């Protein structure tokens, strides 16, 4: 299992637009096959950093998921919304694998 963490640099004057974008992904991402952990908008501290986090079985599943997301009506609408509103200044994706277990969990 891989966890994808998307680090967004957003325009701090357009936080509401990012929140709308995140709510749309909250519907489209699970429908297209990824296990969405959540989207996180700035609250305290940095006003420009936001995150999206989801799990995917492997990189092959990620590629199939991305194709489904690009074909999904809400996914396409959300991509277009981000382009037209220009609230995303930059985004970085990192894929991580879990190497620890929670305290007390069986190994």
pLDDT of 101: 80
pTM: 0.88
Whether 102 has a pLDDT exceeding 70, the answer reads: yes
Mean pLDDT to the nearest integer, 36-64: 95
Question: Distances in Å between the alpha carbon of 76 and those of 12, 52, 56, 57, 73?
Answer: 24, 17, 20, 23, 5
* pLDDT tens track for 3-36: 999 999 999 999 999 999 999 999 999 999 999 9
Q: What is the DSSP string of 81-93?
A: HHHHH--EEEEEE
Contact between residue 91 and residue 18 where contact means Cβ atoms under 8 Å apart? no
In the chain, domain spans: 2-96
Look up the CATH architecture of domain 2-96: 2-Layer Sandwich (3.30)
């Amino acid at each position: 299992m891989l966890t994808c963490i998307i680090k967004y640099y957003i325009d701090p004057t357009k936080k509401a637009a990012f929140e709308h974008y995140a709510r749309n992904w909250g519907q489209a991402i699970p429908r297209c096959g990824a296990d969405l952990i959540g989207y996180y908008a700035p609250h305290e501290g940095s006003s420009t950093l936001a995150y999206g986090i989801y799990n995917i079985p492997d990189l092959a599943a990620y590629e199939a998921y991305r194709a489904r997301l690009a074909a999904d009506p809400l996914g396409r609408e959300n991509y277009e919304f981000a382009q037209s509103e220009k609230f995303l200044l930059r985004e970085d994706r990192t894929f991580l694998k879990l190497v620890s277990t929670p305290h007390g969990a069986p190994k």
